[in-house]
């Protein structure tokens, strides 16, 4: 299975910060996939800027419809057309700030996979849910609802990835322990295999939530963790580079 370091830049970075990122990025010899999702408005610039490097560029969100009268939305086919290769679906900020529910997320997953775009489908429990012992149940529900109707063999190897991102660890500096993350990943693999009959060897599982070079080693060495989805620490080229050396 390939390994992945994926940056989610959220609504950060201007053109000058992007130059700073590239000036300290050294990923020529990286043994893993290196992906970044900048703000949508910067995607064409990033694709141009990343030419000649191993960096692949994606979008943080897509519309569930392919085209039409959907003002302000991002078409998956247009994103593919300009060279974006992947999209995030179900990030906790989309779920909580923009009320994206399981049904909508499921439509987005289908639209993206049907168009041939790689999908990182994000799941994760709130702190209160973990405290109440509901983590496994929440993850199972999010996966069963979000991936409903996805058939085994309906997508290619590595086209669907899952990111386990405990909500309490995103942008908080509070990272899951390697044991907590491994337990959640093993559970996700079991749900994919047993409930959905999906070939889990073909579905990379990424951990996300306050990953940085100082805490990545323990997480990325876990058996069921195939990479990281990284917010804050992916904004700096040298931290991004360090993560690619750790995995």
Q: Which residues of 19-35 are buried (b: 16+ CB within 10 A; e: fewer)?
A: eebeeebebeebebbbb
Min CB(94)–ligand PEP separation in Å: 10
In the DSSP assignment, the letter for residue 111 is H
- Dihedrals phi, psi of 162, to nearest 5 degrees: -120, 135
Separation CA 45–CA 12 (nearest Å): 15
Catalytic residue of the set 125, 165, 185, 187: 165
64 or 165, CB closer to ligand PEP? 165
Q: Of these, 127, 156, 171, 221, which contacts ligand PEP (CB under 6 A)?
A: 171
Min CB(206)–ligand PEP separation in Å: 9
- Count of residues that interact with ligand PEP, criterion CB under 6 A: 13
75 or 210, CB closer to ligand PEP? 210
| x/- track of binding to ligand PEP for residues 111-150 (CB under 6 A) | ----------------------------------------
196 or 220, CB closer to ligand PEP? 220
Min CB(233)–ligand PEP separation in Å: 6
Active site (annotated) includes residue 165: yes
Catalytic residue of the set 42, 91, 185, 187: 91
Structure tokens of 149? 């109707």
Closest CA to 12 of 84, 81, 60, 50: 60
Active site (annotated) includes residue 91: yes
- Which residue is it, tokens 């070079």? 213
Site residues for ligand PEP, window 202-231 (CB under 6 A)? 208-211, 229-231
Q: Where are the beta strands (DSSP E) in the chain?
A: 4-8, 33-37, 55-59, 86-89, 118-123, 160-164, 205-208, 227-230
User: In this structure, are residues 117 and 142 in contact, taking their beta carbons and an 8 Å threshold?
Assistant: no
Separation CA 38–CA 46 (nearest Å): 8
Min CB(209)–ligand PEP separation in Å: 5
- Point out the residues that are catalytic: 91, 165
Residues lying near ligand PEP in the complex (CB under 6 A) are found at 8, 165, 170-171, 208-211, 229-233
């Amino acid at each position: 299975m390939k390994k992945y370091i994926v940056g989610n830049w959220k609504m950060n970075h201007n053109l000058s910060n992007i130059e700073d990122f590239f000036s300290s990025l050294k990923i020529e010899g990286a043994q893993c996939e290196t992906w970044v999702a900048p703000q949508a408005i910067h995607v064409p610039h990033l694709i141009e800027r990343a030419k000649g490097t191993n960096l692949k560029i994606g979008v943080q969100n897509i519309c569930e419809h392919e085209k039409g009268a959907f003002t302000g939305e991002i078409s998956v086919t247009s994103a593919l057309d300009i060279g974006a290769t992947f999209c995030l679906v179900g990030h906790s900020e989309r779920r909580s700030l923009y009320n994206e529910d399981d049904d909508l997320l499921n439509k987005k997953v289908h639209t993206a996979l049907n168009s041939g775009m790689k999908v990182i489908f994000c799941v994760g429990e709130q702190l209160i849910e973990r405290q109440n012992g509901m983590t496994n149940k929440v993850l199972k529900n999010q996966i069963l609802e979000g991936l409903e109707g996805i058939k085994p063999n309906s997508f290619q190897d590595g086209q669907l990835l899952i990111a386990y991102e405990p909500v309490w660890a995103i942008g908080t500096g509070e990272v899951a322990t390697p044991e907590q993350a491994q337990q959640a990943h093993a559970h996700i693999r079991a749900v994919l295999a047993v409930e959905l009959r999906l070939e889990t060897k073909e579905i990379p599982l990424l951990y996300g939530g306050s990953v940085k070079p100082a805490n990545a080693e323990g997480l990325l060495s876990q058996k069921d963790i195939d990479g990281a989805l990284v917010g804050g620490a992916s904004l700096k080229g040298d931290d991004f580079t360090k993560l690619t050396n750790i995995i």
